[in-house]
Amino acid sequence: MLAAMGDTTQVHDKFKLFTGALDDAGHIKDVATLVHEWVAKDKVAVKSVGAAVAAGKLMITIGYRDDEETYEVELHSSKIGRVGELDKDEQQRFTRAIESGGMNWPPVIGHTLYVTKQGDLYLVVLSLVEKRED
């Protein structure tokens, strides 16, 4: 099956869970810092991100590989709206907001969503930090 997929560089089977609090505005700042520090320390290649809010805590999962060269990544979050009926119009509005949010932090490796207990929908973007040539 993998041969049919073509590029297998995103394929991974290792995962790490991070938990923490959202900041007062509902963002992932503290947990994003933990992820950034872990990547730098353990020298892993991050491949995917997942998020959920449960029991008042944020959970971020990172999919990764430890058998290839590491690279610097960043996690960002942005509020994209309040969840309502999730009808066709709202789905289209959220899709546009996700596309727009992804353009704020290119190049995007992956993304995920989470909903706060207040019903606010947030986008999490996992992006590659491109090396600058001086």
Q: Check residue 1 and give its pLDDT.
A: 40
**Residues with Cβ within 8 Å of residue 64, at least 6 apart in sequence:** 12, 14, 15, 16, 44, 45, 46, 47
Total number of domains constituting the chain: 1
Query: Which pLDDT does position 53 carry in this prediction?
Result: 95
pLDDT at site 5? 45
Is 29 part of a structural domain of the chain? yes
* 10-residue averages of pLDDT along the chain (134 residues): 56 95 95 96 96 94 94 95 95 95 90 95 94 66
Residue 70 identity (one-letter amino acid) = T
Question: What local confidence, expressed as pLDDT, does residue 3 receive?
Answer: 44
Residue 13 lies in a domain: yes
pLDDT of residue 7: 61
What's the whole-model pTM score?
0.88
Residues spanned by the domain of 116: 9-128
